[in-house]
Amino acid sequence: MKSFNKILLLAVGFVFVFAGALAFAAGTQEQKAATKAETTKANVQQVVLNNNTPKGKLEIFSWWAGDEGPALQALIKVFEKRYPEVEVINATVTGGAGVNAKAVLKTRMLGGSPPDSFQVHAGQELIGTWVIANRMVDLTPLFKQQGWMKVFPKDLLNLIGTKDGIWSVPVNVHRSNVMWYIPDNLKKWGVSVPQTWDEFFSIADKIQAQGVTPLALAQAWTVKHLWESVALGVLGPDDYEGLWNGSLSWTDPKVVKVWQTMDKILKYTNKDAASLSWQQATDMVVKGKAAFNIMGDWASGYMSTTLKLTPKKDYGWAPSPGTKGNFIFLADSFGLPVGAKNPDATVAWLKVCGSKEGQDAFNPLKGSISARTDSDLSLYNVYSQSAAKDWANNRIVGSLTHGVVANEGFMNDFSSVIEMFLNNRDPQQAANACQAIAIQNGIGK
Ligand code: GAL
């Protein structure tokens, strides 16, 4: 017995020493990252001042593959025209909302082999994940040199900046809370676009009776995407923001109602959702198999650029039920990670990302609008022009699913809550679980 206790003691001791060593290693890694960040910060200043001709390879990492690719290719084309001596490696990991790409990126960043530049959402996905870990280089000198402090909206600058610097270059503004439909089909089925979820429920049976799915859904992240639109619709903008600033508790009966509404909506969605991509859910609407879909306005990019449909004539849109006058926004951006192999080429890439020419080549194909205030709207289709108008006049709130309002930790845990809810459909339990993960991840502090 005595020798068993000894072994146990030794084992416990070993675990402590091992854990201590790990913590120390993590600590020194952080320090190394911080010093490297300082050095590369000086480099940016230099690169910007020297204005060297960039050469060599430039690896750009994103999830804009396949159907999502044309807009990025247009942006790369602008880059290649300006910097013919750089070879662009367009590294993509397919999967909507970056579900797969973000995991690959994490492994690469932590393993010390970051791409030269990568797609990241403005807001907490950038700040709460990579900036607090000292993995990004401050781009303030570039913003000043390019005059971007004046052309990007102040609120957007606040989302990509901290008191220590500016950490990425936004390429677009997307809207999350949009309901898509085919006007001719609605006419055929004798229904109109629902303004509220109650209106949706009152027409859903009629749609279903005609053998049509009322609302097309795809894999789990699109349920999360739907959730933020439902939350805004049920709560209104003040309470929606209250979830992120801590003024509304996740267990408040109003939030339980969001989950109850979700439960009701899910009864009107397709059974094979889990195996579909977001494009396939859009296809269901286009082909008349479903009446509506709630998706960000990259769906407009897909319908107009890939499927060659004409907005207004071939497809219609409206704010998701209950969210008129409100705009859930997100912005894709690119930055310079610490340890990037070719900072000269990356800075050149970022100049193109933030330029008027780059943004007005990229966004008309993407379904998003330019993040700049001086973009040429005549280059955009009627959908994007209407989004630009709403961006200027609506109440703006941030997206959860696309990185604005919460850090990566909360986002991942929230995905687990969604999975749990899809299995047990228990609104109170989902609300309780959210309260717990909000505390764990410091949300609402
Ligand atoms: C979002 C991203 C969009 C679009 C979408 C679907 O997270 O911001 O640009 O790619 O995912 O994959």
Which ranges constitute the DSSP H helices of 65-100? 70-82
Residue 58: partners with Cβ closer than 8 Å, 6 or more residues away:
86, 87, 88, 89, 116, 117, 342, 345, 346, 348, 349
* Structure confidence at residue 445 (pLDDT): 82
* Structure confidence at residue 47 (pLDDT): 77
* Structure confidence at residue 35 (pLDDT): 63
**Three-state SS for 301?**
helix
CA 174 – ligand 1 centroid, Å: 8
Q: For 211-268, give the DSSP string.
A: T-EEEE--SHHHHHHHHHHHHHHHHHHHHHHHHHHTSS-TTSHHHHHHHHHHHHHHTT
* Structure confidence at residue 13 (pLDDT): 46
Assign 3-class secondary structure to 233-244: HHHHHHHHHHHH
**Residue whose CA lies nearest to ligand 1 atom number 2:** 97
Residues of the chain with pLDDT under 70: 1-42
| CA angle, 36 then 37 then 42, to 5° | 100
**Three-state SS for 285?**
helix
CA 4 – ligand 1 centroid, Å: 56
**CA 82, CA 234: separation in Å to the nearest integer?**
48
Answer yes or no: is the C-beta of 97 below 6 A from any ligand 1 atom: yes
By C-alpha distance, which of 119, 108, 67, 90 is closest to 330?
A: 119
* Structure confidence at residue 28 (pLDDT): 58
Instruction: Tell me which residue has tokens 């006058």.
Output: 325
* Structure confidence at residue 40 (pLDDT): 65
Answer yes or no: is the C-beta of 330 below 6 A from any ligand 1 atom: yes
* Structure confidence at residue 23 (pLDDT): 45
* Structure confidence at residue 34 (pLDDT): 59
**Residue whose CA lies nearest to ligand 1 atom number 12:** 96
* Structure confidence at residue 29 (pLDDT): 60
**CA 300, CA 288: separation in Å to the nearest integer?**
17
Residue 243: partners with Cβ closer than 8 Å, 6 or more residues away:
231, 235, 250, 255, 405, 438, 443, 444
**Residue whose CA lies nearest to ligand 1 atom number 1:** 97
Answer yes or no: is the C-beta of 96 below 6 A from any ligand 1 atom: yes
**Residue whose CA lies nearest to ligand 1 atom number 8:** 332
Structure tokens at 5: 């206790």
Answer yes or no: is the C-beta of 67 below 6 A from any ligand 1 atom: no
**CA 101, CA 119: separation in Å to the nearest integer?**
9
Ligand 1 atom closest to the Cα of residue 332 is: 8
Answer yes or no: is the C-beta of 402 below 6 A from any ligand 1 atom: yes
**Residue whose CA lies nearest to ligand 1 atom number 7:** 97
* Structure confidence at residue 44 (pLDDT): 79
* Structure confidence at residue 288 (pLDDT): 98
Q: Percentage of the chain surpassing pLDDT 70?
A: 91
CA 97 – ligand 1 centroid, Å: 5
CA 96 – ligand 1 centroid, Å: 6
**CA 397, CA 240: separation in Å to the nearest integer?**
8
* Structure confidence at residue 18 (pLDDT): 41
Whether the CB-CB separation of 286 and 182 falls below 8 Å is answered with yes
Q: Classify residue 320 by burial, with Cβ atoms within 10 Å: 0-12, 13-18, 19+.
A: buried
* Structure confidence at residue 415 (pLDDT): 98
DSSP for residue 52:
P
CA 297 – ligand 1 centroid, Å: 9
Q: Would the pTM of this model clear 0.85, i.e. be above it? A: yes
* Structure confidence at residue 94 (pLDDT): 96
